[in-house]
Structure 1
């Protein structure tokens, strides 16, 4: 049909109303009891193959979560995340290139598995399991794969994950929650203030760094860096040598 003629046969609102109820899937399919994303699973599988075929996994891989905006009440995987720009939508785990942000693999979060009929391990959707599951799919285990670095945030980072990835010849670097198991409690820091010459001074001062090396696994290092708030990190491939980091300061020029 030529462009600009569709409106002669059907109004736009009528078209969207029909599309909201039109479907081409069999609701009695056995997959409906095992996979909440079964209706779009064929499309997702094609995208996974296409993404992997178009990009070679780089040395540094970023793993995080994202939200696909959707407020539809027909979406069974809709979740609310107050920390995202789009609060409502479908949560996905994303493995992307840390330099170009190219998405190499994603996994749809299908919600609490106890609502489905097929039993699965309790930690199937935990942060550690999500990282390992997607790294195994993106980079299948081989005899001597090249070393890579996986960067995560505090929801995924843990000592257990760092050791698991080392067996896969992958380093791990990321922020970490201070209540994580086996994390070095000696470097956990809270921000405090004390009065010096009638001025409030932050303790410890900004720029303070604390490091702790794991005795059993020397490659694993816990770190604390004091910015405006303490930042706790864990790494299994970072250097402990002192260095200099440049901080860029942007000046705004106003024309009067």
Structure 2
């Protein structure tokens, strides 16, 4: 093997010590330095737009022996459940960034603060969430942080005004199509 070929190959080969004490506590200890390098490189070279959406998703598992279930209609999805940060509008093809899998408004605030830390932007950013992540306290807290938050909401969430509940699920014949009511938190 020539010296130049060895240098080219060794650029992409990564060796770790298997007796490292971090191996007992962390699952990804072998590739932690690679992940941190990718994260810093991505943050330095990418600028987020003014419109950001948050959603949950599933990274598929491609193992050779998938789990079998007796009842096919109740088979759980196989893979890793993640929180996605969708950048841009629906017609943009910029993809999503996976983040931590903890639930609740605290994780949404932590993830948004982590993503937007150190990025310059004039004005307020728009964050779009689905019904699983939307709550009144979350919207109020993000407003104080300088974000506009839009999303549908589950009516069993904290601080939901019961006067906004709709008495009928079907549209009355006298109500024209396309009408709606808006609830405001400020």
> What TM-score, normalized to structure 1?
0.51
What does 1:1-256 align with in structure 2 at a 5 Å threshold?
Answer: 26=18, 29-30=21-22, 32-33=24-25, 35-38=26-29, 40-70=31-61, 72=63, 87-99=77-89, 100-103=92-95, 105-109=97-101, 125-140=102-117, 146-189=123-166, 190-192=168-170, 206-214=177-185, 218=186
**Mapped partners of 2:152, 2:112: distance in 1:** 19
Instruction: Report how far residue 138 of structure 1 moved.
Output: 1.1
**Mapped partners of 2:30, 2:42: distance in 1:** 20
Q: Deviations over 1:208-227 (max 9, x none)?
A: 4122334xxx2xxxxxxxxx
Which has the larger Rg?
1
Change (3 A) 1:92 1:212: closer
Change (3 A) 1:206 1:180: farther
Change (3 A) 1:159 1:165: same
- Alignment size in residue pairs: 161
> What TM-score, normalized to structure 2?
0.67
Higher strand share: 1
Where in structure 2 are there 5+ consecutive unaligned residues?
A: 2-14, 66-72
The structure with higher relative contact order (CA 8 Å, sep 6+) is 2
Change (3 A) 1:156 1:205: same
For residue 13 of structure 1, what is the aligned residue in structure 2? none
